């Protein structure tokens, strides 16, 4: 008896399946094709971007080699091309390198490129902060302590990942201007920060020695 019920149940299922297939078969086939095309399209997309990244990587390495060989103009041209046409990651990297290359011979122009990066929200807050820091580094010899402070104060706050490098620049600016007390405050903030790198701490210990020694006596 159970076999008869099983056969009836299978017939009912078969009939239902045939009805569903007649009504929705075309949609099922279309959905399956869409999934296949989507998977295939994603693979093509991924392959294309991989090749694009590989080309950008090769160009970037070539630009570095040109720079190391003293061919700065050619290096900058290649970096500008990557910055304009390369994938986002390499484009940002090329813009940073381009600013560094230009800054070697023209600090103000290099700082201007870094300032452009600092206002580009597309690269993310951390890289924007790095761009601000690099711009200040290029201009540190020409900016007054007040102007340097205006640029770097936001980066010197406790929440900034660049705080200790910013504090170092600010301290050196104050030291250069002869304000030993202000310089000491910045250096102390670095020393008391448990996340300050060891190499930076060693440099700051030297700076603090200069601060403790005070200004050199005037020549009579």
Yes or no: say if 136 and 169 are a contact pair by the CB < 8 Å rule.
yes
At residue 4, the 3 state secondary structure works out as helix
The tens digit of pLDDT for each residue in 168-203 reads 999 999 999 999 999 999 999 999 999 999 999 999
Q: Rounded to whole angstroms, how far apart are CA atoms 210 and 191?
A: 15
Yes or no: say if 94 and 128 are a contact pair by the CB < 8 Å rule.
no
- Provide the total of helices (H) and of strands (E) in the chain, helices listed first: 9, 0
Yes or no: say if 113 and 98 are a contact pair by the CB < 8 Å rule.
yes
pLDDT over 50 (residue 41): no
Q: Rounded to whole angstroms, how far apart are CA atoms 54 and 64?
A: 15
**Helical H segments across 69-124, by residue range:** 72-85, 88-105, 107-118
Q: Distance of alpha carbon 140 from its chain centroid, rounded?
A: 22
Instruction: Please return the burial class of 128, using the count of CB atoms within 10 Å of its CB with bins 0-12, 13-18 and 19+.
Output: middle
- Give the single-character DSSP code of 161: T
The tens digit of pLDDT for each residue in 61-70 reads 777 777 777 7
> Could you give the percent of the chain with pLDDT greater than 70?
71
> Could you give the percent of the chain with pLDDT greater than 90?
46
pLDDT at 216 (0 to 100): 58
Mean of the per-residue pLDDT values of the chain: 78
pTM of the model: 0.69
pLDDT at 158 (0 to 100): 93
pLDDT at 101 (0 to 100): 87
Compute the Cα dihedral for 201, 207, 213, 214 and give only its sign. negative
């Amino acid at each position: 008896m159970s076999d008869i019920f099983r056969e009836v149940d299978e017939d009912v299922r078969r009939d239902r399946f045939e009805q569903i297939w007649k009504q929705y078969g075309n949609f099922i086939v279309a959905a399956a094709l869409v999934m296949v095309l989507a998977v295939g399209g994603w693979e093509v997309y991924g392959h294309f971007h991989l090749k694009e990244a590989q080309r950008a990587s090769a160009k970037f390495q070539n630009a570095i080699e040109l720079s190391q060989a003293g061919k700065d103009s050619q290096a900058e041209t290649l970096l500008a091309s990557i910055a304009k046409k390369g994938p986002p990651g390499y484009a940002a990297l090329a813009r940073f390198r381009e600013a560094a290359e230009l800054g070697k011979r023209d600090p103000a122009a290099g700082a201007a490129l870094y300032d452009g990066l600092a206002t580009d929200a597309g690269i993310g807050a951390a890289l924007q902060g790095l761009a601000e820091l690099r711009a200040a580094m290029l201009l540190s010899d020409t900016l007054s302590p007040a102007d340097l402070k205006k640029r770097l104060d936001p980066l010197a706050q406790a929440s900034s990942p660049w705080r200790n490098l910013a504090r170092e620049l600010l301290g050196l600016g104050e030291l250069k201007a002869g304000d030993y007390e202000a310089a000491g405050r910045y250096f102390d903030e670095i020393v008391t920060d448990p996340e300050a790198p060891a190499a930076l701490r060693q440099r700051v210990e030297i700076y603090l020695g200069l601060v403790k020694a005070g200004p050199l006596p005037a020549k009579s």
